[in-house]
Structure 1
Amino acid sequence: MNLDEQIVLITGGARGLGAALSRAFSRSGARVIVNYNKSRDAAEALVAELGEDRTFAVQADVTDRSSVDQLFSAARERFDAPISTVVDNALVDFSFNGDARPNADTITWADFDSQLRGAVAGTLNTTQAALPGMRELGFGRIITVGTNLVQNPVVPYHDYTAAKAALLALTRTLSADLGPDGITVNMVSGGLLRTTDASAATPEAVFDMIAASTPLRRVTTPDEFADAALFFASPWSRAVTGQNLVVDGGLVKN
């Protein structure tokens, strides 16, 4: 299925990386569902920017299955077709500030639970809600958002990194389970992105240090990350599933 034939759900699609993903899929001609939890104004502004004929904002907490089911019903009613592609981008509130992070002595299980619910439960909910429609189409693309910190925990964000590691495992097991249905499941893992809401607290010196460490000598942008998500949704990746593509300027070799 070509990109301009797809109906794409971007969870957490109103701000930061999510907004870059929404714009990228919209530019490709896809119909885009901009999911938000609390960012209604940003979501509605983005829909106005991209065009209300092919873009739709829907509130849902992805950690709540009933809320996700309502999102899928609203999208089906709006576009009169099933969602073909899900980009699991939603992130429970998190700030990439190494100085303020909880360390090994102070972090709590509640911190882990919050991130696991956002990453793993959120992806499980959207996947299960999407499966009937994808099976109806005989086609599906599920793209999860990971992090290069799993391979290179240069800053030990324990809860966030553990949740993304679990999400990588889920990505791979889902790919094995859903491949016979024509559904691919892949992950795009970024490094520190310049700049999103989550990375806004990162000191400029850290950006400079990372840039100097990459072969490209610069920090990846949200738009560059979104390009990789387009690849996994496109026909060019039709034989690719269960993979983790690291998009960080070559800092981590996967």
Structure 2
Amino acid sequence: MTTTTRTIPAIADQIVLVTGGARGLGRAITEAFLREGARVVIDYVTSADAAAEIVAAHPGRAVAVRGDVRDRAQVEALFAAGREAFGAPVTTVVNNALADFSFNGDARAKADEIDFPAFAGQFASAVQGALHTVQAALPGFDEAGSGRVINVGTNLFQYPVVPYHDYTAAKAALLSLTRTFSADLGPRGVTVNMVSGGLLRTTDASAATPDAVFDAIAAGTPLLSVTTPAEFADAILFFASPWSRAITGQNLVVDGGLVKD
């Protein structure tokens, strides 16, 4: 059996698409890649001002493009804009976009009242969005000789401390997609991994979470802290880097040690 060795570009040589990359966790991921020298396509839907602010702070290394990942044509336009701006294909995709969601345990839909459209909405964002971005990325990955896909997950399907039924089910399905796509795309030099966080302190989605909940989570971790968006983004960088070249189909939980498996 022949072993194929592919050269994985350093982060500074990568062109990265971050979906939902202008605010919250997405902004932390975008800024982490920019800090390391990468060029970034910032996908956004409603955060035009925030996206423009990032671009202005990193002239020539960031481009902001409005695109709903649920729409395949808009996703194709994201990749086209990246190539036009940087003269080369996107080499790394971070699937972070999240349909409107608030981590508010008191306001969540309970098991006896949630309806399937709530699930469908989350699946469209998490699973359909990732399907669109990966498929749109493949011609560029083939051109570059390798590719990186990093999906953003959650520890809630291992430890549903708050049962957000629709959100958690969609992220569990995204983990399945991560593993099956890794098997199919590995021969093309593409790795597909997931980084799963717990509640992050603080993003737009977790802004409604009471301090008491954050404190209770922190008390249950070995590090006695709640993971920040910047800490989570560092783990994303690992899966984009050459250091992870032999890792695919994996789910790394980044939550201060709250979940052990």
Q: TM-score, normalised by structure 1?
A: 0.99
Q: Distance in 2 between matches of 1:207 and 1:154?
A: 12
Tell me whether 1:58 sits opposite 2:65 in the alignment. yes
Tell me whether 1:202 sits opposite 2:209 in the alignment. yes
Tell me whether 1:5 sits opposite 2:13 in the alignment. yes
Q: Distance in 1 between matches of 2:97 and 2:55?
A: 18
Deviations 1:53-109 (A, max 9, x none): 111101100000011111111111111100000000000000000000000111011
Q: Distance in 1 between matches of 2:119 and 2:77?
A: 27
- Paired letter, 2:257: G
Number of the residue aligned with 2:160: 153
Number of the residue aligned with 2:45: 37
Gaps of 5+ in 1: none
Number of the residue aligned with 1:47: 55
Deviations 1:158-216 (A, max 9, x none): 00000000000000000000000110000000000000000000000000000000000
Number of the residue aligned with 1:235: 242
Q: Distance in 2 between matches of 1:124 and 1:78?
A: 24
Tell me whether 1:178 sits opposite 2:185 in the alignment. yes
Number of the residue aligned with 1:90: 97
Shift of 1:38: 1.2
Q: Distance in 2 between matches of 1:174 and 1:149?
A: 22
Query: Of 25, 40, 58, which aligns to 1:17?
Result: 25
- Paired letter, 1:194: R
Gaps of 5+ in 2: 1-8
- Paired letter, 2:81: A
Tell me whether 1:99 sits opposite 2:106 in the alignment. yes
Number of the residue aligned with 2:4: none
Shift of 1:52: 1.9
Q: Is the 8 A contact 2:41 2:78 kept in 1?
A: no
Number of the residue aligned with 2:143: 136
Shift of 1:141: 0.2
| Root-mean-square deviation (Å) | 0.5
Q: Distance in 2 between matches of 1:121 and 1:52?
A: 32
Q: Distance in 2 between matches of 1:96 and 1:174?
A: 29
Q: TM-score, normalised by structure 2?
A: 0.96
Q: Distance in 2 between matches of 1:90 and 1:228?
A: 17
- Paired letter, 1:99: D
Shift of 1:229: 0.3
Tell me whether 1:73 sits opposite 2:80 in the alignment. yes
Superposed structure 1 runs of 4+ greater than 6 Å apart: none
- Paired letter, 2:46: K
Q: Distance in 1 between matches of 2:40 and 2:59?
A: 10
Query: Of 96, 106, 122, which aligns to 1:115?
Result: 122
Number of the residue aligned with 2:3: none
Tell me the number of residue pairs that the alignment of Structure 1 and Structure 2 aligns.
253
Identity of aligned residues (%): 69
